[in-house]
Structure 1
Amino acid sequence: MRRQEFRLDWTYDRLCGFDLETTSTDPQTARIVTGSAVQHGGGRPTSPRTWVSDLGGAEIPPEATRIHGFTTEAARSAGRPAAEVVEEITAALAAAVDEGRPLVIMNASYDLTVLDREARRYGVTPLMDRVSPAVLDPYVLDKRVRQYRRGGRTLADLCRHYVVPLDGAHTSEVDATAACELVRKMGRRYRVLASMSPAQLHREQVAWAREQNESLRAYFARTPGKEGWARDVRLEWPLLPLVEPVR
């Protein structure tokens, strides 16, 4: 009797989660405070790697400290030279891509843009100039499969909705690990996602993110008091293009 073969989809494969904690919400100027690359799943133990940057002379404003807990003094004391941290993070992600792993990044256009600008700031070859990753973004995916779901879509909101542990939110290792678990649950709940390869999903997310951001831009434009916000909504995903020299 011929054995029946079952195809396992990408939700059973090894993924690489990535997350940054930074100095600012502006990806063009934010500096990396901590970063984590977490190898997750695929029938193997989770393997995290975390970096702390000395900020390269920048400072952490109080509002950022309240989110991730790092002060300027703590980062400079515990951190390694920023240029080395940026190179090592970029190299680790490129290696994961070369090994065939999707990059799982919550709100990818922020983290990947920060990493890109930091690379350019320190003369490091940017990630997208090294490899062409397949990126899985829980934020974009959830907005696609549950467009009209009530509630927020922060990482904490999504973890509550999909019942994913998030102990110690706003540490880069915990957030990167949670993002991996999120996309696995999404893929297994919504088979339309698991039926596509990571590369196909990446291409679809480019279009989905544009549609989602166009809708948000239109909402702001027609809402009294929010009209000015519309011009700040960017349509590109997963990397915002460079439009001016990095500062």
Structure 2
Amino acid sequence: MTGMEHSPDASWADTLAVFDLETTGIDIDTCRIVTAHVGVIGVDGAVLEQREWIVDPGVEIPTAATLIHGVTTERARLEGAPAAQAVAEIIAALRAAADRGLPIVAYNAAYDLSVLHREAERYGHEAFRGPAHVVDPYVIDRAVDRYRRGKRTLTAACEHYGVELTDAHDAGADAIAAGRVAQAIVRANPDLAGIAVGDLHRRQVGWSREQAESYQEWRRGNGEPEFTASGAWPLR
């Protein structure tokens, strides 16, 4: 992707790279990428750059997954890029954004980045390892508005922060909405804008761990004594 370099003097939320995957399932160790989006949004949330992929995952896409993102096995085989090629291109696009100094926004980043990491290993690519400037609105929202009731899905976050999401579970729509939610969280919590993005990344590591520990304690206290939750972030 091309474009202006990110100014270190600007708020980290002014220009953001955005990233999302749709996949064959929810298990990060076994699921495969079906669609992907890497883009850039500007200070007003406008889309400045975007690149999208449809991928032939090399396996059957379960009906349950197709019902979520709309891509059938047949369509993926017909229109999709070979998975090994697409995974390499997605990693390269993210690496290019990171090299420009752009924070990378992903909603529930530990899922998308971990899936991409497993896919890199599967095809023998150099992984996109632990980028230092990940922004995860899912983790940040739960930290700054801890006691808000209700779901914390992307759809729910968009409703709460007044961000339009017209096509949920489309990788492009979800990626762009996640970036706009991150910007809306900063508008609602201006102190976040003054935190260096590297420091924010480190805070999210701690917040994710604390949130997982709290959730695990709650589940164990409600009849599931063996329940465990991983708070590893941004990779699991």
Aligned to 2:205: 206
Shift in CA distance, 45/21, structure 1 to aligned 2, threshold 3 Å: closer
Q: Tell me the distance in 1 between the aligned counterparts of 2:100 and 2:126.
A: 19
Give deviations 1:66-103, integer Å, cap 9, x for gaps: 10011111111110110000000000000100000000
Task: Please identify runs of 4+ aligned residues in structure 1 that moved more than 2 A.
Answer: 42-46
Q: Given residue 227 of structure 1, which amino acid in structure 2 is its aligned partner?
A: P
Q: Tell me the distance in 2 between the aligned counterparts of 1:136 and 1:126.
A: 19
RMSD: 1.4
Deviation at 1:132, TM superposition (A): 2.9
Say whether the 8 Å CA contact 1:138–1:183 is kept in structure 2: yes
What is the percent sequence identity of the aligned residues? 45
Q: Does 1:122 align with 2:123?
A: yes
Gaps of 5+ in 1: 1-6, 241-247
Q: Tell me the distance in 2 between the aligned counterparts of 1:133 and 1:42.
A: 21
Give deviations 1:105-134, integer Å, cap 9, x for gaps: 000000000000000000110000xx7330
Q: Does 1:70 align with 2:63?
A: no
Say whether the 8 Å CA contact 2:47–2:176 is kept in structure 1: no
Aligned to 2:3: none
Say whether the 8 Å CA contact 1:52–1:75 is kept in structure 2: yes
Q: Tell me the distance in 2 between the aligned counterparts of 1:45 and 1:204.
A: 27
Secondary structure at the counterpart of residue 124 of structure 2: coil
Q: Does 1:239 align with 2:219?
A: no
Deviation at 1:192, TM superposition (A): 2.3
Residues 152-191 of structure 1 correspond to what in structure 2 (within 5 A)? Answer: 152-191=151-190
Residues 1-247 of structure 1 correspond to what in structure 2 (within 5 A)? Answer: 8-12=10-14, 14-42=15-43, 45-55=47-57, 57-128=58-129, 132-224=131-223, 226-228=224-226, 230-231=227-228, 233-240=229-236
Please say which of residues 30-39 and 190-199 is displaced more in the overlay: 190-199
Question: What TM-score do you get using the length of structure 1 for normalisation?
Answer: 0.89
Q: Tell me the distance in 2 between the aligned counterparts of 1:99 and 1:179.
A: 20
Count of aligned pairs: 227
Question: What TM-score do you get using the length of structure 2 for normalisation?
Answer: 0.93
